[in-house]
Every structure is written in C-alpha cells, then in structure tokens.
Structure 1
Amino acid sequence: MSADLLDAVNAALAGKWDRAHAIVQRDEDDPFACWLHAVLHKIEGDAGNSRYWYARTGHSYGEFADAQQELAAIKRELESGRRDER
C-alpha cells in the first residue's frame, strides 16, 4: 500500500483531490491512509469528516496549520519507511 499512498499524496499535492481520495478509500484501516483521508477532507472544508478520520490516527485536526505542509510531512514519513512503526 505504500506506493499507492505515495501516489495519493502526490495526487493531493498536485491538486488531484478525487484521485487521492479514491486511493485512500481502498484501505480505511491503514493509519496513514486515514491520516491522508483526514487531510483531504480538511482541504475540502469538511471539518466534521476530517475530524472523524483524524480520530483514527495518531494526529489531530489542529496539528498542522497548513494542509500542504501536512501532505509534505505524510510524504516524508512514507518515504522514510516510518509508516511501518505505527
């Protein structure tokens, strides 16, 4: 799933919300997919849905002020292999 999640992050960074969303919906039990799902709904402006997905991760809605910075943080963690530690 890591390659798919990297694809989803890259899609989100490129403004391809629908593509990124379709990818993260494939694995709703993966903490990184849930984190990315949360950020996508934050970008969309759906705070309630975003908070639902954040509740399934080790992160919070207010942890990052900027969604682009949060997407970059997700990408760094996926690329570093830290996703396996969760």
Structure 2
Amino acid sequence: MVVSVADFRASLSGAAPAPGLVPPLAALWWAAKGQWDQAHKIVMNEETAEAAWVHAYLHRVEGDLGNAGYWYRQAGQPAAKDSLETEWERIASALLGGGKT
C-alpha cells in the first residue's frame, strides 16, 4: 500500500496503480501517467468530496475551467490557481495523509 507522496510518485513507473488505492488516488495516478480518460472514468461516478476534487483537477488539466469550478464547489475546495503539478502534489498529499478534503 502506498503511504507517502514519494512512494505514490515512485509507483508511477508501474503499469497500473497499486492494488487497494481508493478511487480518487487511482484516478490521480492515471492522470499523472497522462491517461485523462482512464482517470475521468474512475471519478465521474464517485460521490465523495475527494473524488470531486480530483474531478475538478482533471477538468482543469483539460482546460475546461467552468466545469472544473463546478467540481471544486462540489469538493468544498477553492479553485486552484497554482500550477497543475503543485495541485497534483497537494491533492496526493491530502489524500495520502488522510486529511479531510
């Protein structure tokens, strides 16, 4: 099981996410691999705030800021203004740390 952002990032060398990852983390993993569609399929029907946050990030990656804004509101998160990499890191850290999102 992945327990740190460093471990999570290291797992990107694999062909698939680590077994047992919660859906938002699995989606974030696929997003880091450039597999937007795979990532989106994972979170689009999840109803957690964590999934909504990853969903918002994915639409930001896509450039659909209006849709991203909707998902940030669903997640209870402010719309990100920093780099995509910084946001990815922040989401991964929050999800891996078990912090409320």
Q: 1:26 offset after TM fit, Å?
A: 2.4
Kept in 1: contact 2:23–2:51 (CA 8 A)? no
- Which residue number corresponds to residue 70 of structure 2? 52
Kindly provide the amino acid, as one letter, of the partner of residue 20 in structure 1.
A
TM-score, structure 2 as length reference? 0.72
TM-score, structure 1 as length reference? 0.83
| RMSD between superposed Cα atoms in Å | 1.7
Please point out which of 81, 84, 90 is paired with 1:73: 90
Please point out which of 8, 11, 16 is paired with 2:35: 16
Q: 1:2 offset after TM fit, Å?
A: 5.4
Gaps of 5+ in 2: 1-19
Higher Rg of the two aligned structures:
2
Quote the sequence identity (%).
35
Q: 1:58 offset after TM fit, Å?
A: 2.3
Q: Deviations over 1:35-79 (max 9, x none)?
A: 110111111011111111111122122x34111211111111111
Kindly provide the amino acid, as one letter, of the partner of residue 41 in structure 2.
A
Kept in 2: contact 1:2–1:78 (CA 8 A)? no
Structure ranking higher in helix proportion: 1
Instruction: After TM superposition, list the pairs within 5 Å mapping 1:22-37 onto structure 2.
Output: 22-27=41-46, 29-37=47-55
The total of aligned residue pairs comes to 82
Kindly provide the amino acid, as one letter, of the partner of residue 29 in structure 2.
N
